């Protein structure tokens, strides 16, 4: 009995009341269901219907409408009382009936509870994470990675078939720089032993040396041109750099529980740009401007979209269009989502518009999900200067801190290292996703690694508490009695009922923050219930069974919610 189901039940009853006042009204029950709100104080009711929107149709004052509609709720399922307050109809839910229905539904559905069906039979492709090869996986990549994966998990939870694409930045002049740096200052043994860190050191050294010797930049451009031309030696080095990078990235993805369906990066689309340029010409939307090929977007209040530079080389937009055409042909997506920083919003708006001008009707299935920038203690991240905080180092710091706490409080815990990593990584992910995604974030490492208050560790500890209770209970008894439920029990059930609503809101807005906030709501409600209600120690067997059942429902819902935000389930801490 989710709150969405309750809205529908109430809406059907209200619809009958509306029709009795004016049979000609065109309002549907679904439209009425969307009108319900939550009062600012539970004392005012559990759910409310503002009647102002009915006044034009029913030609009466909102308070009068609320009074007349209240009668339609007499005897309605799960309704204990309906009160009129001005233009609002405040509805109080039958505590016992609702708590019973809600708890039993979660237990019956298990991990299927909260899942939506809007994506059934549809495919969603999502492009996210996408680090630049041979550069470190730093905290600046955290946003696209965890926001992107959360959006993917939300779509899977809603029934979509999802294809996760890691569009690696594996093409460009930076490889010319690396090839020059490797030949001048590197050797194979050092790179094999040092991995991506050794490649980053070469990249930083190149830029330091280039400040005194600008000719290095010309050498780098020449080496990249040779790579583009298929020079075997350069191709072998390039592929080696990519393999080293992906091997390192996968370690971080494993810590987050992330796997990709495709690692096809920019280079994959290099030979597919020619046909794109031909289609652009055939559509008659290109023009030459100072030797470069552009699509003029001035009538759409945007700068021109550059598709071919004056030297004949393609650019990001061309490769992105080629990738979109390939993905549509390969996956026949119903949605194609790109998760990148807000600084690229214009870029995506431009080439999305170009796809539309090319005549592809599916242009409106492309969408960009932007997020804010990340800085460390106010300092901008920059790989070329070495000013980065590597994710693996941040995860290691957090894990070490958690392990220290565990050694002090629970030294005999099995699989202590794995649990410490789950909690440490979870702390960082939860901290990041607790913010509105478009908001710029200044990471203060001390704040990130705090484990008190509304944090990831608090949520995982709450989940572990529910696991411990269920283990000690030996399962969920079947003789639960839901008569005379306490306020804490009802409020917990009501919070659990809002999970499908939270999923729908997060999916609609592309905001994982909706899930982190919901998790905290569940934790708050459960811990209040835990402290105010005897559970295992309750002497009344039927009430004890009810409270174990509620605990099981919390365990299920929190576990599902964790899976939507890259958080691992911690059965014991």
Average pLDDT of each block of 10 consecutive residues along the chain (573 residues)? Answer: 89 92 86 94 93 88 93 91 94 96 96 96 97 85 95 98 96 92 94 92 92 94 91 96 93 94 93 94 94 95 94 87 98 98 96 97 97 75 59 89 89 90 93 92 75 89 96 92 96 97 96 97 97 95 96 98 95 88
**563 φ/ψ angles, rounded to the nearest 5 degrees:** -65, -15
Q: Nearest Cα to 39, choosing from 52, 31, 30, 50?
A: 50
Tell me, yes or no, whether 398 lies in a domain: no
* CATH label of the domain that carries residue 520: 1.10.730.10
Domain that holds residue 503: 427-563
Task: Among 36, 63, 93, identify where a domain stops.
Answer: 93
Residue 379 has a pLDDT of: 61
526 part of a folded domain: yes
Cα 396 from Cα 137, distance rounded (Å): 14
Cβ(356)–Cβ(302) below 8 Å:
no
434 within domain boundaries: yes
Whether 456 maps to a domain, the answer reads yes
In the chain, the number of structural domains is 3
pLDDT score at 453: 85
pLDDT score, position 53: 85
Among candidate residues 235, 259, 283, the one where a domain is terminated: 259
CB-based contact 257:568 (threshold 8 Å)? yes
**Looking at the domain assignment, is residue 45 inside a domain?**
yes
Instruction: Point out which residues pair with 287 in neighbouring strands.
Output: 294
Judged on CB neighbours under 10 Å (0-12, 13-18, 19+), 236 is exposed
Q: Residue 37's domain is classified under what CATH number?
A: 3.30.1360.70
CA angle centred on 231, ends 225 and 234, rounded to 5° = 80
In-domain check, residue 135: no
φ, ψ of residue 459 to 5 degrees: the values are: -65, -45
Cβ(145)–Cβ(256) under 8 Å?
yes
Domain match, 446 and 550 both? yes
Question: Does an H or E element contain 441, and which?
Answer: strand 441-443
Instruction: Report the predicted TM-score, pTM, of the whole model to 2 decimal places.
Output: 0.92
At 63 the pLDDT is 94
CB proximity list for 388: less than 8 A, separation 6 or greater: 136, 138, 139, 140, 381, 382
- Identify the pLDDT of residue 373: 84
> In the numeric block, which tokens belong to residue 270?
């290099």
CA 476 remoteness from chain centre: 32
Rounded to an integer, what distance in angstroms lies between the CA atom of residue 493 and that of residue 515? 17
**In this structure, are 438 and 534 located in the same domain?**
yes
From 75, 93, 111, give the residue that closes a domain: 93
Ordered strands of the 374-376 beta sheet = 379-380, 374-376, 441-443
Q: Are residues 444 and 548 in the same domain?
A: yes
pLDDT at 434: 93
| Crossing angle of helices 142-157 and 416-433, rounded to 10° | 90
Instruction: Output the six-digit token pair for 300.
Output: 């759409």
Asked whether residue 449 is assigned to any structural domain, the reply reads yes
Cβ atoms of 10 and 81 within 8 Å: the answer is no
Is residue 359 included in any domain, yes or no?
no
Quick one: 435 and 552 in the same domain? yes
């Amino acid at each position: 009995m989710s709150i969405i189901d309750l809205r529908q039940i109430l809406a059907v009853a209200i619809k009958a009341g509306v029709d009795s006042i004016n049979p000609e009204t065109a309002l549907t029950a679904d439209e009425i269901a969307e009108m319900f709100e939550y009062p600012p104080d539970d004392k005012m009711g559990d759910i409310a219907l503002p009647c102002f929107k009915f006044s034009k149709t029913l030609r009466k004052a909102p308070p009068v409408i609320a009074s007349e509609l209240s009668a339609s709720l007499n005897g309605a399922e799960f309704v204990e009382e309906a009160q009129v307050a001005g233009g609002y109809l405040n509805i109080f839910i039958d505590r016992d009936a609702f708590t019973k229905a809600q708890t039993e539904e979660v237990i019956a559905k298990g991990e299927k509870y909260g899942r939506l069906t809007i994506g059934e039979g549809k495919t969603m492709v999502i492009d996210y994470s996408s680090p630049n090869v041979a550069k470190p996986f730093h905290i600046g990549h955290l946003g696209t990675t965890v926001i992107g994966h959360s959006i993917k998990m939300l779509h899977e939870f809603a029934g979509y078939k999802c294809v996760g694409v890691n569009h690696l930045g594996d093409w460009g002049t930076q490889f010319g720089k690396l090839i020059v740096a490797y030949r001048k200052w590197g050797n194979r043994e050092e790179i094999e032993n040092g991995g991506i860190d050794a490649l980053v050191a070469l990249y930083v050294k190149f830029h330091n040396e280039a400040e005194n010797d600008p000719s290095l930049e010309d050498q780098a451009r020449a080496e990249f041109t040779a790579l583009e031309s298929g020079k075997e030696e350069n191709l072998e080095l390039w592929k080696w750099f990519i393999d080293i990078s992906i091997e390192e990235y996968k370690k971080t993805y494993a810590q987050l529980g992330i796997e990709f369906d495709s690692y096809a990066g920019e280079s994959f689309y290099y030979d597919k740009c020619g046909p794109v340029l031909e289609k652009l010409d055939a559509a008659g939307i290109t023009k030459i401007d100072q030797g470069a090929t552009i699509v003029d977007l001035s009538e759409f209040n945007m700068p021109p979209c550059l598709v071919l530079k004056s030297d004949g080389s393609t650019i990001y937009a061309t490769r992105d269009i080629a990738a979109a055409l390939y993905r549509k042909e390969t996956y026949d997506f119903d949605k194609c989502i790109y998760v990148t920083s807000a600084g690229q919003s214009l870029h995506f708006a431009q080439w999305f518009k170009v796809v539309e001008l090319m005549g592809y009707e599916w242009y409106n299935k492309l969408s960009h999900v932007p997020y804010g920038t990340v800085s460390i203690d106010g300092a901008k991240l920059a790989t070329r200067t070495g000013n980065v905080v590597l994710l693996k180092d941040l995860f290691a710091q957090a894990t070490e801190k958690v392990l220290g706490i565990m050694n002090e409080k629970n030294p005999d815990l099995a699989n202590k290292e794995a649990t410490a990593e789950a909690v440490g990584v979870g702390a960082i992910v939860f901290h990041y996703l607790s913010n509105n995604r478009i908001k710029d974030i200044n990471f203060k490492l001390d704040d990130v690694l705090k484990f008190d208050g509304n944090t990831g560790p608090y949520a995982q500890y709450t989940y572990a508490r529910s696991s411990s209770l269920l283990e000690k209970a030996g399962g969920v008894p079947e003789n639960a009695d839901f008569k005379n439920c306490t306020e804490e029990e009802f409020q917990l059930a009501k919070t659990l009922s809002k999970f499908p609503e939270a999923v729908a809101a997060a999916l609609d807005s592309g905001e994982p923050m909706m899930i982190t906030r919901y998790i905290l709501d569940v934790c708050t409600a459960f811990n209040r219930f835990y402290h105010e209600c005897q559970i295992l120690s309750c002497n009344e067997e039927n009430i004890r069974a009810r409270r174990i059942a509620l605990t099981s429902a919390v365990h299920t819902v929190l576990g599902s919610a964790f899976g939507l935000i890259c958080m691992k389930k911690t059965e014991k801490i």
